[in-house]
Amino acid sequence: MLLAVDVGNTRIKVAVFEDGTLLERFVFLGDELPKNILNILNKYKNISDLVVASVGNVEKSQFLCFENTLKTHFITHETHFPFQNRYATPLTLGIDRMVLASGAVLQFPNQNRLVIDAGTCVTYDFIDKENNYIGGAISPGIRLRYESLHNYTAKLPLLSLEEYNVDNESKNLNFIGNTTQRSIHSGVINGIVNEIDGCINQYREQYSNFIIILTGGDAEFLAKRLKNTIFANSNFLLESLNQTFQFKNQK
């Protein structure tokens, strides 16, 4: 059994895999990590390996303390990946983006792939059919957009996606916001949806035969609103982390 850990900017996502099958997924904050890992190990006593991909601020020592019971592996820029990194500054490419690119290559061979990860940031990663990682884009995610409007203005309130969902359920939302709150919701949600659709359309103009993979914490919410046909999988990074680990071991 394998315990895969994705340390993000906001949360830690963890999954237990057996023979490539995701058995259970967990989400928690960084200060809860040691306790939660222990609880998982007590529940799944056959876990033998721990693999970590991190872009967050969790210290390695929090994982190394499990070395007596688990083989601990960290995905780094030196890890062998199933693609050629053509990024102009390869060592600045986030490990999470590299893992996503790896999963896209391993799951969807012989085609162009665009991976969109909608979390704290929205990242776009393009890997061509020859397995070259070309690059992509980074923009603020939904939560960051709400926070920036509040933090960098004098009077705009801090709103959230949860409030948008409540307002939307009551059928009070329109793309033309008739209050300050609804104008913020319209700007944030319609802005990010149109950004993603517009980015996809730019790729369509240059490339054919490519799959669009949408993942991240906001993937399910956004998938219902995009005009383009996508493959949505909120667990894609964890699955890609498992596949990258298996690929590395095979080599």
Q: Which residues are catalytic?
A: 96
- DSSP secondary structure of the chain: -EEEEEE-SS-EEEEEEETTEEEEEEEE-GGGHHHHHHHHHHH-TT--EEEEEE-SS--THHHHTTTTTSEEEE--TTS--SSEE--SSGGGS-HHHHHHHHHHHHHSTTSEEEEEEESSEEEEEEE-TT-EEEEEEEEE-HHHHHHHHHHTSSS-----HHHHHHHHHTT---SS-SSHHHHHHHHHHHHHHHHHHHHHHHHHHH--SEEEEEESTTHHHHHTT-SS--EE-TTHHHHHHHHHHHHHHH-
